[in-house]
Structure 1
Amino acid sequence: MDEAQKPMVECQMMVRKPVSEVFQAFVDPSVTTKFWFTKSSGKLEQGQTVTWEWEMYGVSAQVKVIELFPDEKITFEWDDPPTRVDFDFSELSKASTYVVIKNYGFHQSGNELIEAIKNNTGGFTTVLDGLKAYLEFGIELNLVRDKFPQIDQK
């Protein structure tokens, strides 16, 4: 199967903030915890592995940073077996950024693959929506926290 035929999740959003601010929102957990996970063992740095936690669900992920190009790209691997995630940042103007998230390298097939793609598409879309609300308006929408209230443990 060539690259164009391999299953991939792709989500995108324009954020009306400078590219450096949008990039840092994903690198710096003091910002990322406002719209995605609740706890991190540290900032994203190339070659490092950090732990992200979603305390309300009692889950965590090991995130291995493969590439980090300031204001341009973040690539990491996570899950078991691992999939790869790219965050690409494009400056549209001095005051706006286009973020594209791609998740690929899925190991499932059939209905399990469909479920993984569906869950990751919804998840990354929710992350981008929360990012936009927080950076543009300073609002913590609690989108990730409220996505599965039936299993919220807090």
Structure 2
Amino acid sequence: MKTENNKFAKAEMLIRKPVSEVFQAFIDPEITSKFWFTKGSGKLTEYQPIEWVWEMYGFSLTVLTKVIEENKKIVVEWGNTGETTTVEWIFTPLNENETFVSITNSGFVGDTDKIIDQVRNSTEGFTLVLAGAKAYLEHQIQLNLVLDRFPKGLA
């Protein structure tokens, strides 16, 4: 993935599960909804737009999958018209029961302050997603990190 200078967000985490299980957690909304969004219109499939919904915020987003390399990589494009960014997941198996996941979000546009805000928010968001995925996949615990990021009354 090509990134321009420092105009990208990155979050990484070791998840102690086989790469196939971790990969599926990001492809299948039945699993992903346990740690990130509340529902998705379908599994990620190359060149098929799907919708991810965060019901607690009344927010949805169309996601277009550009690349799926089984157990290795996912690349999607998402965002509002004219402000789409690219998100890339890289899955590196360290052994049969450990997977290192790297998520990079790039393609931010705007003035310096807007880009800094987008990079900060994306880095924070994907860090929470990875921590939630780790807790769910390793221990079947739903931490509600994304839900609790903006509690009612503070958002």
How many Å apart are 1:150 and its aligned residue? 2.6
TM-score after normalising by structure 1: 0.94
CA RMSD of aligned residues (A): 1.6
Cα offset, 1:6, TM superposition: 4.5
1:139 corresponds to: 141
- Over 3 Å counting, the alpha-carbon distance change for 1:55 and 1:152 in structure 2 is farther
Unpaired segments ≥5 residues, structure 1? none
- Report the Cα offset of residue 109 of structure 1: 1.9
1:83 aligned residue: 85
Aligned-residue offset at 1:4: 5.4
Question: For residue 5 of structure 1, what is the aligned residue in structure 2?
Answer: 5
Instruction: State the number of aligned residues.
Output: 152
1:72-126 C-alpha deviation (Å, 9 max, x unpaired): 0000000021100000000000000000000001112221111111100000000
Give the Cα–Cα distance (whole angstroms) in 1 for the partners of residues 63 and 138 of structure 2.
27
Q: Secondary structure at the match of 2:35?
A: coil
Q: Deviation above 3 Å: which 4+ runs of structure 1?
A: none
Aligned partner of 1:36 in structure 2 is 36
Q: Aligned pair in 2 of structure 1 residues 133, 89: CA closer, same or farther (>3 Å)?
A: same
- Secondary structure in structure 1 of the residue aligned to 2:93: strand
Residue identity (%): 46
Distance, in Å, in 1 between the alignment partners of 2:78 and 2:89 is 14
* Structure 2 residue ranges without an equivalent (≥5): none
Conservation of the 8 A alpha-carbon contact between 1:57 and 1:152: no
Alignment partner of 1:67: what SS?
A: strand
Q: Distance in 2 between matches of 1:126 and 1:150?
A: 18
Within a 5 Å distance, the mapping from 1:43-82 to structure 2 comes to 43-80=43-80, 81-82=83-84
